[in-house]
Structure 1
Amino acid sequence: MLISEMDIITPQTVNDCLLILSKKETEHRIIAGGTDAVVRMKEGKWLPSTWINIKGLKELRYIKEINGTIHIGPLITHTDIIHSSLLQKKANILVEAAREVGAIQMQNMGTIGGNIGTASPAGDTIPALYVLNAAVELQSLHNKRLIPINLLFTGPGRTVIKPNEMITNIIIQPQTENEIGIFQKLGPRKAQSISIVNVAIMLSMAKDRECLGGKIAFGSVAPTIIRAKKCEALLPLNPLTDDIIENIAKIAWKEVMPITDGRATAEYRRDMASALLERGLYRLMRRWERK
């Protein structure tokens, strides 16, 4: 199919979009920033008969705090995230992840909803959303459901989102005063958005280096984002001394499940996952000591 043979529909409201999605006779796909769509079309993978352009739906572009949770519209761009004072204060790990999404042009165009919907295991914002206990609101014409983000993805490029549904809200839990987070990424170069390995770390701290618990989410080391549960179990057992941090990083080498592809070997990804976690924990301890 040629791109010139595709139809583009631009709904004026979310309800208009849901009405279009409810029609089963047409093969359609939603487009917002288009940063992933262009790549997939060149690969011959995303060639629907109809594109639904939702870029202009202002009702899906917001960042606000409601009843102790932060709500983010799916059309919020990575640049919006970077410049949000609310997220800088209460979800800085997501801000750090957004800063790592490729070049400035990618940050200006790409949206958080698109990053989620593409379901790439290398998506930079997704590990940050994992450690922020995010939930994704999916809406159809007659129904709405809230899915914890760890249950949203079923494999590379695959989610539980139904053909008649769209993402209408992302809800995250804000970081508390004693929580510190960091996002680390290894990529071939800044202009490329595809991570070789990435990791988001969130720690709940007490005095000195005493850790009360934490969450660790790796990207690009398995078919979907994974929580490093064995590493997490070691966090509250002892103060996070240099020796403990090194031991936790060694566990990460065994816990990730990477593959070899054109960007890196599985062994290299294991080594880098361990190194990124170790470096991230060291950096978090320095931040905590300065706090």
Structure 2
Amino acid sequence: MLVSEIDMITPSSLSECLTQLSKEGRKHRLIAGGTDAVVRMKEGKWRPEIWINIKNLKELRYIEESKDFIHIGPLATHTDITHSPLLQRKADVLVDAAGEVGATQMQKMGTIGGNIGTASPAGDTLPALYVLGALLELTSLKNKRIVPIQEFIIGPGRTVLKENEMITKILIKPQRQNEKGIFQKLGPRKAQSISIVNVAISLTMDQDRKCVEGKIAFGSVAPTIIRARKCESMLTLGPLNDELIQNIAKIAWKEVMPISDGRATAAYRRDMASALLERGLYRLIRRWENQ
């Protein structure tokens, strides 16, 4: 099928888009920034009968704060995220991750909703959203439901999204004043390639610089993003000194479940997962000491 043989619909409102999604009988797929879609089409994948172009639905492009949550529209670009003062203050790990999604042009075009919907194990914003406990609002013409991101993604490229649904909101809890995060990525070329391994870390510290809660999520080392629960449990065992940080990094080697592919071997990914976690923890401690 040639690109010219695929129909394109451009709805002028969210309700019009949802009406199109509710129609049965033809295979459709949403497109916004198109940074993933173009690649998949070149690979011979993602060949729907109808593309629904939602790029201009301004009602889905926003970053706002309510009493309990930060609300992010699925059409917020990675550049919107990196430039948001609100997210810089209250979701620094997501800002870090969005700044590592491809080159500058890709960050301007690509959207957070697209990164989530693609459900790639190597998606750079996904580990950050996991440690932030993101909730996704999924909307159809007649219903809405809220799904935690870890329940939304069920395998490589696989989600629980129904044919008549779309992501209409991402909800995250704002970081507390004593909470800081960081994102680390290993790729063949810095900030312009698919991650070989990535990791998001969030630490909540007390007045004595002791960790009282920590969250760690790895990408590109399993069929989906994984939370490193054993590593997380070790973060609160004592002061994050050299010995404890290095012991935590060693445990990461056992928690990840990578495969070998054209970009890296499983053994290399395990080693790099440990190294990235160790480096990220040291960088976070320095941030605390320098604030």
* Alignment correspondent of 2:258: 258
Post-superposition offset of 1:192: 2.9
Q: Which SS does the other structure have where 2:76 is aligned?
A: coil
Q: How far, CA to CA, are the matches of 1:243 and 1:272 in structure 2? A: 19
Matched, 1:187 2:187: yes
Matched, 1:229 2:229: yes
Q: How far, CA to CA, are the matches of 2:6 and 2:46 in structure 1? A: 11
Q: How far, CA to CA, are the matches of 1:160 and 1:202 in structure 2? A: 27
Q: How far, CA to CA, are the matches of 1:212 and 1:191 in structure 2? A: 32
Q: Which SS does the other structure have where 2:184 is aligned?
A: strand
Q: Which SS does the other structure have where 1:180 is aligned?
A: strand
1:75 maps to a residue whose letter is L
Q: How far, CA to CA, are the matches of 2:212 and 2:198 in structure 1? A: 24
Q: How far, CA to CA, are the matches of 2:193 and 2:18 in structure 1? A: 30
Q: How far, CA to CA, are the matches of 2:123 and 2:198 in structure 1? A: 9
Q: Which SS does the other structure have where 1:264 is aligned?
A: coil
Q: Which SS does the other structure have where 2:65 is aligned?
A: strand
Matches within 5 A, 1:69-148: 69-148=69-148
Q: Number of residues paired by the alignment?
A: 291
Q: How far, CA to CA, are the matches of 1:90 and 1:209 in structure 2? A: 19
CA deviation map 1:177-207 (0-9, x unaligned): 1101100000111363310000000001013
Post-superposition offset of 1:209: 3.4
1:81 maps to a residue whose letter is I
2:241 maps to a residue whose letter is T
Q: How far, CA to CA, are the matches of 1:237 and 1:192 in structure 2? A: 37
Matched, 1:171 2:155: no
1:197 maps to a residue whose letter is V
Question: Which ranges in structure 2 are unaligned for 5 or more consecutive residues?
Answer: none
Q: How far, CA to CA, are the matches of 1:243 and 1:50 in structure 2? A: 56
Q: How far, CA to CA, are the matches of 1:27 and 1:102 in structure 2? A: 29
Question: Which ranges in structure 1 are unaligned for 5 or more consecutive residues?
Answer: none
Q: Which SS does the other structure have where 2:48 is aligned?
A: coil
Matched, 1:215 2:215: yes
CA deviation map 1:62-105 (0-9, x unaligned): 00001121000000000000111111111111111011011001
Which deviates more from structure 2 when the two are superposed, residues 177-186 or residues 200-209? 200-209
Which deviates more from structure 2 when the two are superposed, residues 128-137 or residues 202-211? 202-211
Q: Which SS does the other structure have where 1:185 is aligned?
A: strand
Q: Which SS does the other structure have where 1:182 is aligned?
A: strand
State the TM-score, normalized to the length of structure 1.
0.99
* Alignment correspondent of 1:34: 34
1:8 maps to a residue whose letter is M
Q: How far, CA to CA, are the matches of 1:193 and 1:200 in structure 2? A: 17
Measured on the aligned residues, the alpha-carbon RMSD in Å equals 0.8
Q: Is the 8 A contact 2:99 2:107 kept in 1?
A: yes
Q: Is the 8 A contact 1:74 1:112 kept in 2?
A: yes
Q: How far, CA to CA, are the matches of 2:289 and 2:81 in structure 1? A: 27
Matched, 1:289 2:281: no
Matched, 1:203 2:203: yes
Q: How far, CA to CA, are the matches of 2:102 and 2:143 in structure 1? A: 35
Q: Is the 8 A contact 1:216 1:232 kept in 2?
A: yes
